[in-house]
């Protein structure tokens, strides 16, 4: 799949959009998790983050792996 090249921030109009790797914190069903090393487009001017379909797939894949892990039991 080819990457869509975004050159202008849709929020502030800056032309400084950069591809960066970030750890993305997300919530699903009330649980927080962190997807590590996700490549996204980010505007250093306003902080807008743009997620490609590949980035969203990587987040979903990491979330699925975390959900399959057995949870530690809390001691009484």
What are the residue ranges spanned by the domains of the chain? 21-67
Is 1's pLDDT higher than 80?
A: no
* Average confidence (pLDDT) over 48-72: 83
Of the chain, the percentage scoring pLDDT greater than 90 comes to 61
| The CATH number fitting domain 21-67, selected from 3.50.50.60, 3.30.230.10, 3.10.20.860, 3.90.550.60 | 3.10.20.860
Rounded to whole angstroms, the Cα distance separating 14 from 44 reads 9
Is 3's pLDDT higher than 80?
A: no
What backbone phi and psi angles, to 5 degrees, belong to 7? -110, -20
CB 16 within 8 A of CB 4: no
What backbone phi and psi angles, to 5 degrees, belong to 66? -70, -35
Of residues 17 and 74, the one with the higher pLDDT is 17
């Amino acid at each position: 799949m080819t990457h869509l090249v975004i050159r202008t921030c849709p929020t502030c109009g800056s032309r400084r959009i950069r591809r960066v790797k970030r750890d993305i914190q997300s919530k699903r069903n009330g649980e927080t998790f962190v997807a590590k090393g996700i490549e996204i487009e980010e505007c250093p001017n306003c902080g807008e983050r743009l997620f490609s379909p590949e980035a969203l797939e990587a987040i979903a894949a990491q979330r699925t792996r975390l959900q399959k892990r057995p949870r530690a039991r809390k001691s009484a």
